[in-house]
Amino acid sequence: MCRSCADRARRVWRFLTGDRKRTRRLLSIVFVLLALSAVTYVVARDWDSLVQFGWQLHWGQIGWALVFFPLGAYPTIYGWHLLVVGLGGPSSLVVNANAFVVSVLPRRLPGVVWYVGTRTLWYRERGVSSAIVLAATVLETLTLGISGLLVYVVAAVVSETLPLPDALYGAAGAAALVVCLLVSPVAMRWLSAKVRRGRWAADMRALDPWRALGVLAVYAVAWVNGGLFLYFLLAGIGGGIPVEAAIGTWALAGAAGMFASLVQGIGLKELTMSAILGGFLPLSVAVGVAVLVRVVHTVAEGVFMLLVLPILRVWTKRG
């Protein structure tokens, strides 16, 4: 009996690990189901609180949210440009902005293969090494996650209204260590030597430490402005919270979403946002707001990103 159970367990394990794509797909489905189950349970349990909440529409506040949205979204384009140029890619802001905009909507699909593949194919048609694109994407995910985590810790210390468990202190310490490695000349020299040995990455160069710090600063600005977008959007629907809390919520939820993308964790961003907003709003309202923010953010991102290219082309021609 035990042997048959062990044999079945081994067969299941081989089935799951025998094909990496199958494993990633399964993990993605599990994460999505867990996220949807949690959202459905909370909304169904506290439906009365959600219905009776004082929903209001303040169009002036919503207008300010639309002002701060591009101020939070556009710096991410510039951060991507800095990474690509720093690794030896094209130096044209218009070219790199095109690649970023093309991969925005595929980023929302489950799995990293969609937006990574879109970027890789787009650059390959222009003679750019896939190694540069992959390295820039990994560094983008890493620096966005680290900067979001650090912004949350700062916001939590300043506001004293956000939770700051010991685990976050440890994570912030680990993030600070990674930042030190990113800006360390010794680490960069070692990485540069490793890169030059690999034929697959012959066109790629190591990232300059000062450029790495610049990328982190640009992403920190993006998180702060994104938090202001969240602050005014919540105020516009009657669910206002302190501005520091909005900035911290946006940064940590975004960082969780970036790190979760590495393990197919769809929905973790919304769950993180719901958990933090639950300290200021009824939990069912916090969940509803998180879902609403996801919808508004996706639509606004699609609209505003399409406006980037005409603006950059006009600016480039004038320059």
301 within 8 A of 103, measured Cβ to Cβ: no
Residue 298 has a CB neighbour count (10 Å cut-off) of 13
Our measurement of the distance from residue 130's CA atom to the centroid of its chain's CA atoms, rounded to an integer in Å, reads 22
Residues 6+ apart with CB under 8 A from 45: 284
In 103-208, which residue ranges form alpha helices assigned H by DSSP? 104-107, 113-124, 130-159, 166-182, 185-197
Residue 33 has a CB neighbour count (10 Å cut-off) of 12
> Could you identify the residue written with the tokens 């082309």?
313
E strand or H helix at 283: helix 283-318
Residue by residue, pLDDT tens for the chain (319 residues) are: 455 655 555 554 454 444 555 555 565 556 556 656 655 655 556 555 555 566 677 788 888 888 888 888 889 999 999 999 988 888 888 888 888 888 877 676 665 666 777 888 888 888 888 888 888 888 888 889 889 988 988 888 888 778 777 666 677 777 777 777 766 666 666 666 666 565 555 567 777 778 888 999 999 999 999 999 999 988 888 777 889 989 999 998 888 887 766 655 556 777 788 888 888 877 777 777 887 888 888 788 777 777 777 777 776 665 5
Residues 6+ apart with CB under 8 A from 64: 232, 236
Q: Which of 215, 197, 69 is nearest to 145 (CA)?
A: 215
Our measurement of the distance from residue 50's CA atom to the centroid of its chain's CA atoms, rounded to an integer in Å, reads 28
Q: Which of 175, 147, 149 is nearest to 162 (CA)?
A: 149
CA triple 182-134-184, angle to 5 deg? 10
43 within 8 A of 288, measured Cβ to Cβ: yes
Q: How far apart are the C-alpha atoms of 211 and 191, rounded to whole Å?
A: 15
73 within 8 A of 305, measured Cβ to Cβ: yes
142 within 8 A of 125, measured Cβ to Cβ: no
